[in-house]
Copies of this chain bind each other. A is one copy, B any other.
Amino acid sequence: MNARTRAHGSRPTLHDVAREAQVSARTVSRVLNDEPRISAPTRERVLQAVARLGYRRNAMARNMRVGARDSAVGLVIPDLANPFFSVVAAAVERTLRTRGLYVVIASSEEDPARERAVVTDMLGRQVAALVVVPSGDDHAYLRLERRRGLPVVFLDRPPNRLAADAFVSANTDGAHQAVTHLLAHGHRRIGFIGDRPTTLYTRRERFRGYRSALAQAGIAVDPALVDRGHHENDAAEATVRLLSAVDPPTAVFAANNLACMGAMMALARARRRDVALVGFDDFTLADVFDPGITVVAQDPHGLGTAAAERVFARLDGDRGRARTTVLATRLIVRGSGEISAS
């Protein structure tokens, strides 16, 4: 069987090219790596053989031989279809690509066990680094890898039981600002719609901001005004529940993007234009609504970019202490948050 008639599915190797070009495999390797001291005719013959056979260097074998890790970075994210995370992922990918790094993506679907499974798998794949939006509550199992020099960067939420780099939004501040804004417009009963697992880091932090803003106005949290729902529909139902309570809220703080969309749906369906709304996380078209939706904007692109850049720094040998960086949020006033209490 000559090299040109290899079995289905197999691909030519250096040796096949070597045979075809009548040189040694080492010489082919040199040509492919642009090493010096190759005569022009030899180079030519090798390149022609490469073209004839459709040869492609096996990066797996190469990386193994040269002791390199994979040229991919593992990215573990709860849900790629969520616009917040997809923008984060796009930013991570875009930044890593400037250095020739690829991204291996896996969704954890907010399942700690799944998260750990995919992370473990990625470690076995020899990824060059790990970027994680964590769902789990114990990342101690990554301690050894980190000590061995693997860059591990957490995004949107910090790690637990592990010192590692992290980039998060100013959740508490942002929420505080949002609720203070509503208070300034005369609201005293402000609903809170947050994530379903109330233990989720972002939900906890944002709730803290909600509570502290209320406290500053001398208002205690009324559990009847706190509801949950991660998906739009859950959040819409939660909004309906809140509004149909005995003493309903005059304003709603939706603590994440989907919650905000759900609240918008519910308010639109109920034609309640008198209820103020401030969302956490900006989204496309927020300004096209009437009234425009007032939000606390995060910087998903900045989060992703910063995480990728920290990966670069760590790959470049930065062995400094792990740092958690907080990215500022920004209140964008558009109308829905400025509806006054009736």
A residues neighboring B (CB under 8 Å) = 8-11, 54, 56-61, 63-64, 70-72, 79-81, 83, 86-87, 89-91, 93-94, 97, 102-107, 120-126, 144-145, 148-149, 232, 261, 264-265, 268, 284-285, 287-290
Contact = CB atoms under 8 A, between A and B. Distances in A.
Contacts of A126: 58-60
A153 to B, nearest CB: 17
A62 to B, nearest CB: 8
A290 B290 contact: yes
Given A63-B60, A64-B61, A80-B89, A290 B268 contact: yes
A158 to B, nearest CB: 23
Contact of A102 (B105, B123, B284): B105
A148 to B, nearest CB: 6
A90 B82 CA distance: 9
A1 B11 CA distance: 40
Contacts of A63: 60
Contact of A60 (B57, B60, B81, B268): B60
A121 to B, nearest CB: 8
A27 B323 CA distance: 42
Q: Which of A122, A148, A264, A288 has the most CB of B within 10 A?
A: A288
Contacts of A91: 81
A165 B8 CA distance: 19
Contacts of A103: 104-106
A283 to B, nearest CB: 8
Contacts of A81: 86-87, 90-91
Contacts of A145: 54
A253 B79 CA distance: 31
A264 B290 contact: no
A93 B105 contact: yes
Contacts of A70: 60
Contacts of A59: 121, 124-126
The 3 residue pairs across chains A and B that have the minimum distance between CB atoms: A86-B86, A81-B90, A80-B90
Contact of A11 (B57, B71, B94, B148): B148
A42 to B, nearest CB: 23
Contacts of A121: 59, 102
Contacts of A54: 144-145
Contacts of A149: 8-9
B268 A284 contact: no
A254 to B, nearest CB: 13
B232 A284 contact: yes
28 contacts: A8-B148, A11-B148, A54-B144, A56-B120, A56-B123, A58-B126, A59-B121, A59-B125, A60-B60, A61-B64, A80-B90, A81-B87, A83-B86, A89-B105, A93-B107, A94-B107, A102-B104, A102-B121, A102-B122, A102-B125, A103-B104, A103-B106, A104-B105, A261-B285, A261-B288, A265-B287, A265-B288, A268-B290
